[in-house]
A and B are shown apart, each in its own frame.
Chain A
Amino acid sequence: MSRASRIPSLSSKEELILELLVEQGEMYGLELVSASRRRLKRGTVYVTLGRMEDKGYVRSRLEPPPEGTGGLPRRLYEATPFGRRVLSVWTRVTRQLLPEFAR
């Protein structure tokens, strides 16, 4: 396994999703899209969430199916303790690095 794959990393979209989930708790994909002010797109948000789930940053559960409509149940996402820790370290590191490279 390469070194890069051992160190957890966050893309800008993953960082944004984790920030929103940590701030606002459990959310639907569509809620994340509207809370992100167009930085996340419906559709692609689920690809990012799926990848984050694979990495262990978020977990999801299905809400009970809507009564009477026969529609599909929606999926709710929340940050895992690991995801919160990665975000916290990531934010701290980028805050420290940014002034160094902004000079």
Chain B
Amino acid sequence: MTKGRRLRQWANRVCSARTMEQFIDPVIADLQHEYEQANTAGQTLRTTGVLLRGYGAFWRVLTVDVPAMWWRRTMDDLRTSHQDSFIRAVVPAAITMLMGSVALVVVPAQNINQRGVVGAWLLILLLPQSIPFSIPLSLFTGIVFGLRCRPLTTRVRRAVIVVGLAGTLVSAATIVWAVPVANQAFRTTIARRVILEGPAEMSSRELRDTALALRDRGALARAGDLLLSFHARWALAGAAFVFAVFGLGVAALRLGRIATVLIAATAFVVYVNYFFELSQSRLSSVFSHEGVAFTVAWLPNLLMVLTSLAFLTKRDPPRLSTGI
């Protein structure tokens, strides 16, 4: 059997014709050619080396180079002077913050005090909190202004969805993993001793387990607070995608600059305020029902997606005929 044929058949299912032609086929053709040469010369050891190198190249292209190239093309599809600068600002910032959060896990919180670098650390420890808000806002602003005067083709819409999903992944990783660790490290640094974790410092699993345990013990108000916090975390992680789609919807309205800024500011303030008001409300015991907490937390996301879909289905008014 021809070497690499099965790999090619498999790749053909997941890659476009262009990707196959430009990247996958040449790698497999090289593998087949080198293998044939070594095989004809009877060099058994070399054939093994050729296969290892060839398969290695194939997987590298498929898992690293093709996604990287696809991401670059997606960015190219979205590229305009405004949006480009926004996205270029958002992505490195998100990555830097995420990397900073990784360092927090590596350096235990207790050691921070001993090193005497409290001031700088406090600032870094606050950074993860900003990511879940900065990503949706930056994406929304970038998309809505970048696409204001551009046709919303299928490629552009697809690119926005990809960028939104990527933002959501980064937000989710930050909210679920980095923020609780950073919060606890912040508190420990300030208090200069190890203190017990509060709701904002618990991992998602701990948060939910504690809420359910409290509910079983009848502490409904406290359980409701925690359950709402748990679902709000995930809903907030989805905000990047929701705001990206909302940006697309607002761009479809073809509004003026001031109207666009007003909508952007209002949407963001209402969204953030909604969660703040919920956390201050006296309905905590109602949220001890998981379904209620889930619905209340995800309601803004749902409403924004529905509004965006309504905006996107709006048709441009038919142009008047200039018939002779």
Interface of B is mostly: helix
Q: Does A26 contact B (CB under 8 A)?
A: no
- Complex CA–CA separation, A44 to B68 (angstroms): 11
Q: Does B292 contact A (CB under 8 A)?
A: no
Contacts A43-B27, A47-B23 given; indicate if A71 touches B58 (C-beta within 8 A).
Answer: no
Contact A47 B33 (CB under 8 A): no
Contact B27 A42 (CB under 8 A): yes
Q: Which residue of B lies closest to A5 (CB)?
A: B79
- Complex CA–CA separation, A93 to B126 (angstroms): 46
Question: Distance (Å) between the CB of A59 and the closest chain B CB?
Answer: 13
Contact A46 B29 (CB under 8 A): no
Q: Does B34 contact A (CB under 8 A)?
A: yes
- Residue-wise, chain B 217-249 has the 8 Å CB interface mask toward A (1 for contact) of 000000000000000000000000000000000
- Complex CA–CA separation, A49 to B69 (angstroms): 12
Q: Does B22 contact A (CB under 8 A)?
A: yes
Contact B36 A74 (CB under 8 A): no
Of the residues A29, A66, A70, contact of B30 by C-beta under 8 Å:
A29
Residues of the A chain whose Cβ atoms lie less than 8 Å from the Cβ of B61: 43-44, 46-47
Contact B30 A44 (CB under 8 A): no
Residues of the A chain whose Cβ atoms lie less than 8 Å from the Cβ of B27: 42-43, 46
Residues of the A chain whose Cβ atoms lie less than 8 Å from the Cβ of B56: 43
Of the residues A30, A46, A71, contact of B23 by C-beta under 8 Å:
A46
Q: Does B57 contact A (CB under 8 A)?
A: yes
Contact-size category for B: 20 to 34
Contact A46 B26 (CB under 8 A): yes
Contact A30 B32 (CB under 8 A): no
Considering only residues 41-92 of chain A, those with a C-beta below 8 Å from chain B are: 41-44, 46-47, 49-51, 53, 66, 69-75
Q: Does A2 contact B (CB under 8 A)?
A: yes
Residues of the A chain whose Cβ atoms lie less than 8 Å from the Cβ of B33: 30, 66, 71, 74
Q: Does B209 contact A (CB under 8 A)?
A: no
- Residue-wise, chain A 1-33 has the 8 Å CB interface mask toward B (1 for contact) of 010000000000000000000000000111000
Contact A29 B2 (CB under 8 A): no
- Complex CA–CA separation, A47 to B36 (angstroms): 24
Contact A66 B53 (CB under 8 A): no
Contacts A2-B81, A74-B26 given; indicate if A43 touches B36 (C-beta within 8 A).
Answer: no
30 residue pairs of the A-B complex, CB under 8 angstroms, read A2-B79, A2-B81, A2-B84, A29-B26, A41-B57, A42-B30, A42-B57, A43-B61, A43-B65, A44-B65, A46-B61, A46-B65, A47-B61, A47-B69, A50-B69, A53-B22, A66-B33, A69-B36, A70-B2, A70-B5, A71-B33, A71-B36, A72-B8, A72-B25, A72-B29, A72-B32, A73-B29, A74-B26, A74-B30, A75-B25
Extra A-B contacts (11), CB below 8 Å, given A43-B58, A47-B23: A30-B33, A30-B34, A43-B27, A43-B60, A44-B65, A46-B23, A50-B23, A53-B22, A72-B25, A72-B28, A75-B25
Partner-B contacts on A (CB < 8 A): 2, 28-30, 41-44, 46-47, 49-51, 53, 66, 69-75
